[in-house]
Amino acid sequence: MTERYDRLLSALREVALVNSVFFVVEWDEQVMMPPGGASHRAEQKAWLARTAHTRQTSAEFGDALSEAEVEQSAAPEGSEPRAVLRQARRAYDRAVKLPGSLVEEITRTTAHAHHAWVDARKHNDPAKFAPWLAKIVALKQQQAACLAKPGQAAYDVLVDEFEPGETTAHLDEIFGALRAPLVELVGKVMSSGRKVPSEILARDFDVDAQEALGREAAKALGYDFERGRLDVSVHPFSISLGPGDSRITTRYHANRFSDAFFGVLHETGHALYEQGLPGERYGTPLGEAASLGVHESQSRFWENLVGRSRSFWRFFYPKAQRAFPAALSGVSEDDFVAAVNGIRPSEIRVEADEATYNLHILLRFELEQALMTGALKADDVPAAWSDRLHGLLGVRPSTEGRGCLQDVHWSGGSLGYFPTYTLGNLFSAQLFEAAGRDLGDLDASFARGEFAPLREWLREKVHRHGQRYLPQELITLATGAPPSVEPLLAHLRRKAHEYYGV
């Protein structure tokens, strides 16, 4: 008998439908909405968030969950019902601890804060955003207080929202294992005396041609434009509105080729994950991504492990030359590949190379903890950001828009999210190693423009499982070993040796 379990599945899908409408208005807000609609949009989003929360915390939902647990109590531990019930119980137990008024207020505040961030970034004026950041931090502290177990730190609560089972202590271990080797590697590169021709990427690249090339690349990797679209936003993102509708955005700069192109590859990786989830499981945990860290592993996998490889450009560089005949005139494939793999300290996270990227994340990880404990105030973020960036990478932001205002995440209330980027980098390198063992010569496939075998490997090993496993379990099953920093460090050392001889 599955009558009670089926009732729970119906209740889960009703909540998912409300959330999907929320995502529609979220996408419209960042891509299409005129600025004058901001206040009304905030109310729409607050109402939708409250409605989804009310449904998920209702007595009817709770009864359906409890009755399904009783009905399925004899189901095998690794079965689909047990996985669904485990995740549904986790989400329900968290939701019922949060007052609906708090959920509504967080959504309303972050909707307004997003537009304040856009304005502050445009004018390089953090004072325009600081009051909103202070309010968001206060609301997230309230949220954490509602959800915390006895003795659990507020930041642990926020991290667990995005990466189930992850803790600040374990993240400290990961960053501790990465920090010294990365600082040493970057130092060796900077003192090597070698330079890659990065100026190639700052030439005049026609924006329309950039868009066309990005679309071609996304399609080559397997992004289905019949079930997705590519648009422009202030900060690139990927969003799934439900089965058959997974959208991506990027941003274009005529003199920064890498921004849009690798942004498209990055967001395509996210969208391929969404398009690879089992659509028939929509609305249930088995139709949702395992975690934000696993999600990020997919974007970094295609952006870096594939998209910056020499073999990818063996296939794709002739297309780039046809798209930009003037900008790439006389530029060899070797020089271009070296340029897209350059290593140098920079201000901007999304423009950072693979070797320095995780140091950008470490900066945010430390600042977020300080914000949540109250050790750092919103007004003091710009100075703290500049000092920590200088300490890690030896550079300071040239403007606040290229400093503490560069990321959209805090305006959306996503404190605790940034560490998942580093987890994604670890997972991606480990997955790529495993794929190479299973599939053989990936470079030969890339050089022929054959990406389907790798994509299908990911769908088999990662996508199809949804949330059947916890993130670390999923990576262990997919690769044959627990998550480790070593595959990533080995990859970065190989790259530094290839291009800088260190």
Which domains are present in the chain? 168-500 (1.10.1370.30)
| Residues written for the chain | 502
Residue that is written with structure tokens 């399904």 in the block: 68
**Over 70: is that where the pLDDT of 313 sits?**
yes
Which is nearest to 276 in space by CA: 464, 20, 84, 454? 464
Strand partners, 230: 248
Using a 10 angstrom Cβ sphere, with 0-12 exposed, 13-18 middle and 19 or more buried, the burial of residue 314 is middle
**Catalytic residue selected from 104, 267, 288, 368:** 267
**H or E segment and range at residue 248:** strand 245-250
**pLDDT tens across 13-51, in order?**
999 999 999 999 999 999 999 999 999 999 999 999 999
Q: What is the DSSP string of 249-275?
A: EE---TT-HHHHHHHHHHHHHHHHHHH
**H or E segment and range at residue 422:** helix 419-439
What DSSP character marks residue 283? Answer: T
Instruction: Evaluate whether 264 touches 217 at the Cβ level (below 8 Å).
Output: yes
Q: What is the mean pLDDT of the chain?
A: 96
Average pLDDT over residues 250-278: 97
Interatomic CA distance for residues 75 and 82, integer angstroms: 7
Average pLDDT over residues 398-411: 95
> Which residues fall within 8 angstroms of residue 181, CB to CB, at 6 or more apart?
489
Interatomic CA distance for residues 392 and 388, integer angstroms: 6
Query: Is pTM beyond 0.85 here?
Result: yes
Does residue 354 carry a catalytic annotation?
A: no
Sort strands 245-250 and 238-242 into parallel, antiparallel or unpaired.
Answer: antiparallel
**Over 70: is that where the pLDDT of 1 sits?**
no
**pLDDT tens across 179-205, in order?**
999 999 999 999 999 999 999 999 999
> Which amino acid, residue 494?
R
**H or E segment and range at residue 247:** strand 245-250
The band of 78, judged by pLDDT with boundaries at 50, 70 and 90, is: confident
Which is nearest to 265 in space by CA: 355, 327, 202, 340? 340
